[in-house]
Amino acid sequence: MRSFHVFLAIGLAAMLVVGAIWWLRPLFSDEPATPASETPPALAPTFTPTALAAPAPTPAPQPAHTLIQAVHQDADSFNPVLTTNETSLAVIDKLFPRLLAQDPQTGLAPVSGGGLAVDWRIGEGGQVLTFTLRTDLQWSDGQPVTARDVQFTYQALVSPAVASPYRTLAAAIAGLSVPRPDTLVVRLQQPGCPFLQLLRHPVLPAHAYGDDFSGLRDHPLNQAPTVSAGPFEFVSWTPGQEIVLARRASTATPSGAAAVAPALQRWIFRVVPDAAERRRLLAAGELDLVRLAPGERQQVAALPGVVAATFPENGYTFLALNLADPADPRPGRDDQDQPVPQPPHPILGDLRVRQAIAHAIHIQRIDQAIYQGELVPMASYVLPTVGWAYAPGLTPYAYDPAAAAQLLEEAGWVDRDGDGVREKDGQVLHLTLLTNEDNPRRVQMGEFIQADLAAVGMAVTFQPLPFDRLAQELLGQRFDLALAGWDHVAPDPGLSTFWHSREDRPGTGYNFTSFHDAGVDTWLDQARLASECDPEVRAAAYRAVQEEIHARLPYVLIGSQTTGWAYSSGWQGVLEPAPWGFVLERRLWQETLP
């Protein structure tokens, strides 16, 4: 089971599936990904959970103020330039600083406090970014953390010798310079405010690795990161069993946390692949913190002594509607960057038909039958959790088969022969619906949608495909309807290049619905090039785009799934739901401990 992943970067080379897709994981599996503000930029099957090397011994008594977090797979490396492993990334977040901090409630970066940068300036029309770094932070071996470390990290990302899966994070960078130890100057290939969101990769100690990247992939620090500058230090890793971190003696600041030393003495990541076993250990008091799998909230909430906190995933499922003729895909712009007229889809080119589809789909039935009541309806492609840019006035299209039938009648589609399928000018109202066959939930959803559309007189051939074939059909714009999903959506809508006409490029572009609107192009450009990257100016432009997308319906949004965390009630004031950065960690630094 696979899903599209997105964390889009400015000027990235085209990748295989929608929106500068990153890597794939099973969106509807029983194991959710550990939330992170970044996800790896490559297209490949997700992890295979690592089997335990040996039966885990009876846990030894732990010191007071020890938090034990369950993880569903073992780590593979602790080098943030190399690993895409979710457990590895969770550990790395406690060990290495980031240039910029992120607001855990809105996802917006940069924000003051929590990152290395204490000040930043935007110059030359948004093409040059100058960062001033804090000077009081040291690596655990006593060396200062400097701008050279940030420069080294981003140079490593693009080094052919390293072949980092995150290399697209730095693709928009034209150059990095360090005029002083506390100053980093980033020159971009082209101006773009959303790029600030991508300057949050964990920073490596340059002095510990050296300037020759040829040895970085096999460096001993990758397996035992004894040089770090986060709130915790590495203690040990027992493969297949656990990773142990200890509180660092000196003050250090993790991403998004207050500038205090953590109150926790130890943070242990214990490998427990089985969801039922995680629940058992949580109820028995042998675990303190567990990431909830989809559909697991009700089971966990019933456990004694356990608190479950939930929020929508930073992803969603959608039905894509091709607005252009799939028999004649054309790029949105010519070689002179002028708009290219698009031949409309013979059926879906009519807005009334798209509105009818939106009203015909019974989202509530999908929620109850497939998501067990844990689907969050959506009206915008921007997540409600992206509060700074979200358009709150939009509402989802209501389930209304009668309205759908009326819209089809108005569009000239009438069932004249009584066979249950509408016709117009001798053409049968027939569409093909695609999805990926390795996702059982999505296949079931497609069957529901097929039946819903048939109920209003639309003949739909439902065709689940191998994932790679689905990707080819989508990017090639050779489809009518496609059921797909975005996951790990970026907290800056400017990193989601779904709607600009320049992204309408058959075979490579991410505007695969061929949505074209001059006003939307203008608003997206305004948000990208706003003076000083003013968030209010950018938010106003993004909200205008959302309103137009909601009205024009290149997507029918199915919704976002509920996710969250469960923790022992012995930890007081530990958690408030937050989809970006997770306030969980901030509170554990300083609030009540058991």
Average pLDDT over residues 127-142: 94
Phi then psi dihedrals of residue 312, to 5 deg? -70, 145
Please indicate, yes or no, if residue 52 is contained in any of the structural domains: no
Interatomic CA distance for residues 534 and 539, integer angstroms = 9
Q: 540: which residues sit within 8 A by CB, 6+ positions away?
A: none
Per-residue pLDDT averaged across 552-556, rounded? 98
Domain containing residue 116: CATH number: 3.90.76.10
* Region 502-531 average pLDDT: 95
Looking at residues 199-219, what average pLDDT do you find? 92
Range of the domain at 204: 79-235
What are 75-103's pLDDT values in tens digits? 999 999 999 999 999 999 999 999 998 77
Tokens at 109, concatenated: 């970066």
What pLDDT shows up at residue 168?
A: 84
| Tens of pLDDT, residues 371-430 | 988 899 999 999 888 888 999 999 999 999 999 999 999 999 999 999 999 999 999 999
Residue 541 covered by a domain: no
Residue 586: which pLDDT band, with cuts at 50, 70 and 90?
Answer: very low
CA torsion, points 409, 412, 413, 414, in degrees to nearest 10? 70
- Cα distances from 464 to residues 7, 23, 114, 470, in angstroms, run 26, 21, 45, 8
pLDDT single digits (tens) 153-202: 999 999 999 999 999 888 889 999 999 999 999 999 988 888 888 889 99
Secondary structure letter of residue 483 according to DSSP: E
CA distance 352 to 409: 9
Tell whether 192 is covered by a domain. yes
What gap in Å lies between CA 123 and CA 318, rounded to an integer? 38
Backbone torsions φ then ψ of 495, nearest 5 degrees = -90, 0
pLDDT higher than 50, residue 313: yes
- 3-state class (DSSP) for residue 414: strand
**What is the domain count for the chain?**
1
Report whether 290 contacts 278 (CB < 8 A).
yes
CA distance 245 to 267: 5
Asked, for residue 164, whether it belongs to a domain, the answer is yes
- 180: in domain: yes
> Does 226 map to a domain?
yes
Q: Residue 409 burial by CB count (10 A; 0-12/13-18/19+): exposed, middle or buried? A: middle
pTM of the complete model beyond 0.85 = no
Residue 146 maps to a domain: yes
Cβ–Cβ < 8 Å for 259, 253: yes
Q: Which of 511, 546, 530 is nearest to 386 (CA)?
A: 546
Structural domain contains residue 145: yes
Torsion angle defined by CA atoms of residues 38, 42, 44 and 49, in that order, rounded to the nearest 10 degrees: -30
Q: Where are the beta strands (DSSP E) in 65-199?
A: 66-71, 117-123, 128-133, 173-180, 183-188
Kindly give the residue spans of alpha helices, DSSP state H, lying in 303-458: 351-360, 363-370, 401-410, 440-454
* Phi–psi pair at 435, nearest 5 degrees: -160, 180
